[in-house]
Every structure is written in C-alpha cells, then in structure tokens.
C-alpha cells in the first residue's frame, strides 16, 4: 500500500479550511464576557484604577496649564502654592519626575494584575479550550478569542477609568482653585489626555493577556481527555 | 466485514512517556487494522496503555516509533493545521465527561465544528437541529448543558461528534458517567448510528454492555494487544462474565 500522506502544497488550502468568522468570534467573546461578568469586572478593576490615576494626573496638568495661561503672575503664585512646578523661563508647567514614576509604577502594577487575573481565567477555561481544539480550532482562533476579549475589557475599563479620573480631577481643582479651574479648562488638551489614557489602557489590557492567551493557544487537545480537570 | 477499506491502521506503534528520570513504555508495539463501518471496543485495565492507543487513533497524540494511518494518511507527517483539519472533519469525539461548552446552548455546541469548517451559519443551524432530532433532543436545542441531564448531555455530544459527517467516532468511556439504563440508551444510539450511517465507532470502555454491540473487541494488557475477539467468540465470553456477575 502506498502512503498518500498530505502533500506540502495542500497546507495553505487546509489552513484556510478551518475558520472562525469575525462575527462569530465577536459573538462568542461577548457571550463569554456576559457569562463571566463578575470575573471580568475583577480583571478590569485594577485597570480602571490605574487608568483613572493616569487621566487624573494628565487632566490636572492640563487645568494648571489653562490657569497659567489665563492668570499671569497671580496664577503662578496660586499654582506654586498648590504644589505645581513652574518653569519660570518658559512659563510652562513641569511634570515632576516623582509624579511620572508613580504613574508608570501604577501602570506596571496594573499590567501584572491583569496577567495574574487572565492566567486564572485561562486556567478556569482549560477544558473549554481543549474541547474547542478537539473540534478542530486552530491555535490562532483561541488566541484571537482571548485577544478580542481583552480588547473589549480594556476598552470598556479604560473608558470608565478615564472618565473617573476626569471627574476627580475636575472636583479636586474646583475645590482648590474655584471656578477658574473650570473656565480656564482647555477642552482640546483634556480630550487629548483622555484619549491617551484610554489608548494606554487598551494597550496594557491586550499586553497583559498575551502570555496567558499564548499559553491557552498552545495547549494540547489530548489534555482534555484526562478527566482530572 | 466484506469491505476491504481500512479506516485506521496502527503499525508497530510504541509510545514512551518520560516520568521523572525513567522512561515508561505505555505501548510496546501495537499492530491493529480497523475496517470502515466497524464498531470496535478497546478493553483493558487502567494503566494498560488503552487510553494511549486511543489518543493515538484519534490524532491527539503521536507515536514514539511506528505509524498511525487514518484514512491512509500518516498522522505523524501532519502539521498543526492538518491535524486540526483531521480533528474537525474526519473524527468526532465523545467523552466520558461529555465535555460540552457550558456557556453555549445545545444547538451552539453542535454547530461549532460546522462553523469551524466554514459552513454558513443558517445551514449549520438547520443541520444542527436535524442532528439533535436524530439523537432524540429535537425539542431541547436551546437548553444549556447544565440544564440537561447526563444522558441528554451525552446525546448532544453525540450530535456534535456527527456534525461534519466524520468517518470515525471516538468514544472514550461514553457510558462511564451514566447510570445503567441511560448508558444502555446511549449504546443503542451509537449502535444505530454505526449501522445506519456507516460510521466507524471506536470506543474505549470498561462497560460490558458495550461488548454486546461491538463487532470486535481488542483487549489491551501491558502495552500490547492481548487478544482480539470477534462478535461470535464474544457472546460466549460475555455470557460467562454476566454469569459471574449474577
């Protein structure tokens, strides 16, 4: 008997034969998020806090810039008293190194938190992933499902965080400087800061799921046959 | 068995696992040919290499030496894509623990392999409902696995295994988690499928009820095939077993 093993040329054809359309991926992702809503909430909570802190710091700086632009010498006095560093030569607000480090640190801690939470979530779903692979799912389909889930979580969490940060920043500055904090608010810069915060949040969420998702995608389907899980 | 078409050929297969510092030979040279349309049971105590052989036939594991041909294709030559394709199209799996995806309805579970194979959503739904009717669950396709009994879950799993009209159905202890009468229903269903749809059914089992419906039984012991019995010889030995049981 000859050995008609699959020819190398058939590889592309076969790769294209196993698919999961985007609409179906999205449907499965949303279903997963809905069913594990509480779990997603915990995964996302550290991201919400870190992004809100980032947005808070950015918007604070924007407001201080606005006051500085509107107020002249008087503004320099109240801003300095409030703890802002002002470069007197150029007349701009300087972001302190310490502040920068605290923000970066909080983002790093948040990413580690996401990796941890997603590892748990992958472990919980080992069986489900194994079943999908037994049914013919490719590594990249599993990877895509996890990345999409993380992107949606990241988007929602980062948006919530950015709005929370904005709210706190507005409240704090209103009580510290009075109405000038709101009237001198530069809308374009604030919008830019919030966008930056949301993008950072999405990026970190996807970054945090990369390793857990790769772990899930590489899982061997034979493992699901063991009934210990 | 008048067909000469072999669907699975296992040739001189050995499989070694590394446990700590020693190599354990789970299979020590197995040769087996399974004909298309056959209902074959693999029996053997746990640790006999039964599961290892079973995983090998299912394309879930590769042999250390030797070859496994599924539909005359050597699976050790296949890459990840081709293996996924094989699992999707050629083989349907049924597990002891049902292994349905809990967050999906019965119908979604059944249609998933069809979606992977590129079938349009509507066509997949129609076929899914048809398959669920075939296994006797026509009115329950919107239920989620936790809302179904063990026997019903296993029926959904059987419908899912049939999704892409596979050549082989691999059943790993399909009655292991079911009570005796439900187990019997599942066995009857499998038997019906093997007769009416000409699907090759390969099952690993401890359940002696499975032997009554098997065309052949392969007994595995210590990583080797101990004996292969045809149905005729079988009825005698099953008779003695049930006598012992009573």
- Which pair of structure tokens corresponds to residue B143? 């239920």
Distance CA B186, CA B210 (A): 10
Q: Is A141 on the interface with B (CB under 8 A)?
A: yes
Q: Is B76 on the interface with A (CB under 8 A)?
A: no
Residue in B6, B55, B112, B150 to test binding to A, most A beta-carbons within 10 Å: B112
Cβ contact, residue pair A14, B85, below 8 Å: yes
Confidence of residue B48 (pLDDT cuts 50, 70, 90): confident
Say what percent of chain A tops pLDDT 70. Answer: 89
Helix ranges (H only) for B90-230 are 106-116, 121-134, 150-161, 180-196, 208-213
Cβ contact, residue pair A222, B61, below 8 Å: yes
Cβ contact, residue pair B113, A136, below 8 Å: yes
- Check if the beta carbon of residue B71 is closer than 8 Å to that of residue B167: yes
Most distant CA pair in chain B: distance in Å? 54
The per-residue pLDDT for range A66-108, each reduced to its tens digit, is 888 887 778 888 888 887 887 777 767 777 788 889 999 999 9
Q: Please report, for residues A52, A116, A155, B102, the alpha-carbon distance to residue A120 in angstroms, rounded to integers and kept in the order given.
A: 24, 6, 21, 18
List of chain A residues whose C-beta atoms are within 8 Å of the C-beta of residue B97: 227
- Check if the beta carbon of residue A114 is closer than 8 Å to that of residue A43: yes
Has residue A107 been placed in a domain?
A: yes
Helix/strand/coil for A192: helix
Distance CA B81, CA A136 (A): 9
List of chain B residues whose C-beta atoms are within 8 Å of the C-beta of residue A10: 82
In this predicted structure, the answer to whether residue A8 has a pLDDT above a threshold of 80 is no
In this predicted structure, the answer to whether residue A4 has a pLDDT above a threshold of 60 is no
Confidence of residue A192 (pLDDT cuts 50, 70, 90): very high
- What pLDDT sits at residue B246? 40
Say what percent of chain B tops pLDDT 90. Answer: 39
In this predicted structure, the answer to whether residue A2 has a pLDDT above a threshold of 60 is no
> B114: closest CA among B99, B129, B96, B98?
B129
Mean pLDDT of A54-72: 88
Q: Is A7 on the interface with B (CB under 8 A)?
A: no
- Select from B73, B103, B116 the Cβ nearest to the Cβ of A137: B116
Mean pLDDT of B57-70: 88
Mean pLDDT of A9-26: 69
Confidence of residue A190 (pLDDT cuts 50, 70, 90): very high
The per-residue pLDDT for range B106-163, each reduced to its tens digit, is 999 999 999 999 888 899 999 999 999 999 998 888 999 999 999 999 999 999 999 9
- What pLDDT sits at residue A48? 95
List of chain B residues whose C-beta atoms are within 8 Å of the C-beta of residue A127: 99
Q: Which residue of A has its CA nearest to B120?
A: A21
Has residue A2 been placed in a domain?
A: no
Please report the ipTM that was assigned to this predicted complex. 0.83
Distance CA B5, CA B9 (A): 10
Which residues are B200's β-sheet partners?
A: B168
Has residue A6 been placed in a domain?
A: no
Distance CA B211, CA B235 (A): 8
Output b/e per residue, B228-244; b: 16+ Cβ within 10 A. ebeeeebeeebeeeeee
Distance CA B27, CA B29 (A): 6
Q: Is B125 on the interface with A (CB under 8 A)?
A: no
Has residue A27 been placed in a domain?
A: yes
Confidence of residue A16 (pLDDT cuts 50, 70, 90): low
The residues near A174 (Cβ < 8 Å, ≥ 6 apart) are A181, A182
The per-residue pLDDT for range B94-105, each reduced to its tens digit, is 988 888 998 899
Range of the domain at A203: 22-224
Residue in B55, B101, B144 to test binding to A, most A beta-carbons within 10 Å: B101
Q: How far is A120 from chain B (nearest CA, A)?
A: 18
In this predicted structure, the answer to whether residue A229 has a pLDDT above a threshold of 80 is no
- What pLDDT sits at residue B108? 93
Q: Is A144 on the interface with B (CB under 8 A)?
A: no
Q: Which residue of A has its CA nearest to B76?
A: A5
Has residue A4 been placed in a domain?
A: no
Residue in A136, A145, A228 to test binding to B, most B beta-carbons within 10 Å: A136
> A205: closest CA among A101, A123, A121?
A121
The size of chain B, in residues, is: 246
Has residue A77 been placed in a domain?
A: yes
List of chain A residues whose C-beta atoms are within 8 Å of the C-beta of residue B80: 138-139
Q: Is A38 on the interface with B (CB under 8 A)?
A: no
Q: How many domains does chain A have?
A: 1
The per-residue pLDDT for range B207-227, each reduced to its tens digit, is 888 888 889 999 998 889 988
List of chain A residues whose C-beta atoms are within 8 Å of the C-beta of residue B102: 128
Cβ contact, residue pair A133, B61, below 8 Å: no
Mean pLDDT of B87-98: 90
Q: Is B94 on the interface with A (CB under 8 A)?
A: no
Has residue A92 been placed in a domain?
A: yes
Cβ contact, residue pair A18, B61, below 8 Å: no
Output b/e per residue, A77-100; b: 16+ Cβ within 10 A. ebbeeeebebeeeeeebeeeeeee
Q: Is A30 on the interface with B (CB under 8 A)?
A: no
When the pLDDT of each residue in chain A is averaged and rounded to a whole number, the result is 85
Cβ contact, residue pair B55, A128, below 8 Å: no
Has residue A149 been placed in a domain?
A: yes
Q: Is A8 on the interface with B (CB under 8 A)?
A: no
In this predicted structure, the answer to whether residue B234 has a pLDDT above a threshold of 70 is no
List of chain B residues whose C-beta atoms are within 8 Å of the C-beta of residue A134: 60, 87, 93, 99
Cα–Cα–Cα angle for B114, B127, B158, rounded to 5 degrees: 75
List of chain B residues whose C-beta atoms are within 8 Å of the C-beta of residue A27: none
Cα–Cα–Cα angle for A207, A212, A217, rounded to 5 degrees: 115
Confidence of residue B240 (pLDDT cuts 50, 70, 90): low
In this predicted structure, the answer to whether residue B243 has a pLDDT above a threshold of 50 is no
Q: pTM, whole model, 2 decimals?
A: 0.83
């Amino acid at each position: 008997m000859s050995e008609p093993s699959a020819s190398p040329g058939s590889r592309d054809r076969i790769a294209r034969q196993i698919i999961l359309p985007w609409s179906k991926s999205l449907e499965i992702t949303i279903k997963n998020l809905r069913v594990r809503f509480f779990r997603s909430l915990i995964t996302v909570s550290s991201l919400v806090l870190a992004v809100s802190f980032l947005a808070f710091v950015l918007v604070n700086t924007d407001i201080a810039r606005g006051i500085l632009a509107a107020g002249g010498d008087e503004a320099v006095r109240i801003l300095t008293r409030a703890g802002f560093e002002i470069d007197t030569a150029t007349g701009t607000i300087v972001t302190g190194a310490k502040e920068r480090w605290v923000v970066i640190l909080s983002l790093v801690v948040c990413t580690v938190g996401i990796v941890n939470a997603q590892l748990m979530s992958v472990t919980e779903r080992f069986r489900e992933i194994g079943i999908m692979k037994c049914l013919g799912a490719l590594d990249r389909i599993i990877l895509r499902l996890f990345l999409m889930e993380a992107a949606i979580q990241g988007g929602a969490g980062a948006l919530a965080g950015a709005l929370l940060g904005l709210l706190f920043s507005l409240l704090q500055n209103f009580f510290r400087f009075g109405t000038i904090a709101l009237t001198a608010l530069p809308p374009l810069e604030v919008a830019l800061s919030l966008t930056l915060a949301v993008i950072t949040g999405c990026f970190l969420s996807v970054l945090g799921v990369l390793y857990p998702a790769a772990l899930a995608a590489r899982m061997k389907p034979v493992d699901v046959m063991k009934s210990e899980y | 068995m008048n067909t000469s078409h072999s669907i699975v050929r296992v040739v001189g297969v050995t499989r070694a696992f590394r446990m700590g510092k020693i190599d354990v030979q789970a299979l020590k040279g197995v040769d087996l040919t399974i004909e298309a349309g056959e209902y074959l049971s693999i029996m053997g105590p746990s640790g006999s290499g039964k599961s290892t052989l079973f995983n090998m036939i299912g394309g879930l594991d590769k042999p250390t030496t030797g070859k496994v041909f599924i539909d005359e294709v050597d699976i050790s030559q296949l890459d990840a894509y081709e293996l996924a394709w094989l699992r999707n199209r050629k083989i349907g799996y049924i597990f002891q623990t049902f292994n349905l995806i809990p967050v999906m309805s019965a119908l979604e579970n059944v249609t998933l392999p069809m979606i992977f194979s590129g079938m349009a959503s509507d066509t997949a739904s129609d076929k899914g409902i048809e398959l669920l009717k075939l296994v006797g669950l026509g009115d329950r396709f919107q239920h989620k696995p936790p809302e179904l009994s063990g026997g019903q879950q296993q029926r959904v799993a059987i419908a899912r295994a049939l999704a892409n009209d596979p050549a082989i159905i691999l059943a790993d202890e399909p009655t292991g988690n079911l009570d005796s009468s439900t187990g019997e229903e599942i066995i009857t269903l499998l038997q019906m499928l093997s007769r009416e749809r000409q699907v090759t059914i390969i099952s690993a089992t401890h359940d002696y009820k499975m032997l009554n419906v098997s065309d052949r039984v392969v007994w595995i012991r210590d990583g080797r095939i101990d004996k292969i019995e045809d149905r005729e010889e079988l009825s005698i030995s099953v008779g003695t077993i049930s006598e012992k049981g009573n």
